[in-house]
Structure 1
Amino acid sequence: MAPTEKDRDILGRTLWGEARGEGFAGQVAVACVIRNRVNDGKDRSWWGEGYADVCLKPYQFSCWNKNDPNYPYLSGAKEIPPTQFAQAQRAADLVISGAEADITNGATHYYATTMPKPPAWIKDATQTFRLGNHIFFKDVP
């Protein structure tokens, strides 16, 4: 399924909401996680079909939760600062096109170390990468 303009927009918004404080490399890393979910090799994946579907899957990316402070920006009620959004869109474009290699080594999950405690799912998962305040994992049960 070829990515659409909606996929590009939703992925860019997700990267801004999830990783704007992690710089360009952090946004690329989060985009790689999303691409790994999109390309999981399964028909009718649990994650969803395509970038927008994966990003908007309930409770997978907290920035899309209606009670999250990022949500008014992502939904369009408030404007995302244009230069910040341009950077997130650039990261989205590079990952969607395949121009950026998977720096996360196959991660399908990550969490921010700024959370009060690590999520329970990391117990049996394989850590693949760490960048800034994000730790990345694969083989999550």
Structure 2
Amino acid sequence: MKWFKKLAIATTLAASIFTFQANAADAHSTSHQVKYGDTFWKLSAQYGVSIASIQKINGYKYSLFAGETIDIPHILTSYEKDLLARLVHAEAKGEPFAGKVAVATVVLNRVDSKLFPNSIHEVITERSAGGYYAFTPAANGTLKLPADNDARRAVEEALKFRGQGSGSIYFYNPRTAQSEWIKSRPVTVVIGNHTFAR
């Protein structure tokens, strides 16, 4: 009878681990059954994720076949999109549209990087060991202000091309930046008043 009890415990434990892993995978992706006429571009627009990220999560698949099931990467919630748009609005107000897209891209690149937290909220509200916020609007309260249409459009644009570009994970205004360390990072692009770096 002891062996039966051990077997029941082991089976229950294995089922619990499997369920946890399945739920963890579900939190980061969703499944899509490919229909005739589906393309990566259509799926990108439908789900608001980049073509590259759909291909990457499916093992760099480049062809779709009707009837097959593929994974779609994590789709941002309305809260995450709004929070990101508010950050873009606060950080890049008055900057060119391309600069707003680049600011949103920095946050998305951080979410995708092993060096930073893996959610929009955690990246935006992250603090350094010294207690300083990574993004000024999280510290000074401007993050609470509503985003304008340009900031919202910039977020959508950044999502469409997520995973592409030069891999910027930092940006700063060289006229106001105090840190010598940030100025030592390899520059990827300069847009308006912001320098982007990795």
Q: TM-score, normalised by structure 1?
A: 0.74
Shift of 1:48: 1.7
Q: Could you tell me the percent identity over the aligned residues?
A: 31
Runs of 4+ in 1 over 3 A off after TM superposition: none
The number of residue pairs the alignment matches comes to 120
SS of residue paired to 2:149: helix
Higher relative contact order structure (alpha carbons within 8 Å, sequence separation ≥ 6)? 1
> Match for residue 116 of structure 2?
47
SS of residue paired to 2:168: coil
Tell me how far apart the structure 1 counterparts of residues 174 and 185 of structure 2 sit (CA, whole Å).
Answer: 16
Mapping 1:1-12, distance limit 5 Å: 1=28, 2=74, 3-12=76-85
- Alignment of 1:108 with 2:177, yes or no, is no
> Match for residue 104 of structure 2?
31
Which consecutive residues of structure 2, in runs of 5 or more, have no partner in the other structure? 1-27, 29-73, 128-132
Q: 1:119 aligns with which of 169, 174, 179?
A: 179
Contact 1:95 1:101 in 2 (8 A): no
Shift of 1:39: 1.0
Shift of 1:123: 5.1
> Match for residue 93 of structure 1?
156
Larger Cα Rg: Structure 1 or Structure 2?
Answer: 2
Which consecutive residues of structure 1, in runs of 5 or more, have no partner in the other structure? none
> Match for residue 62 of structure 1?
136
Shift of 1:4: 1.2
> Match for residue 129 of structure 1?
189
- Alignment of 1:13 with 2:76, yes or no, is no
Tell me how far apart the structure 1 counterparts of residues 183 and 163 of structure 2 sit (CA, whole Å).
Answer: 29
Shift of 1:111: 0.6
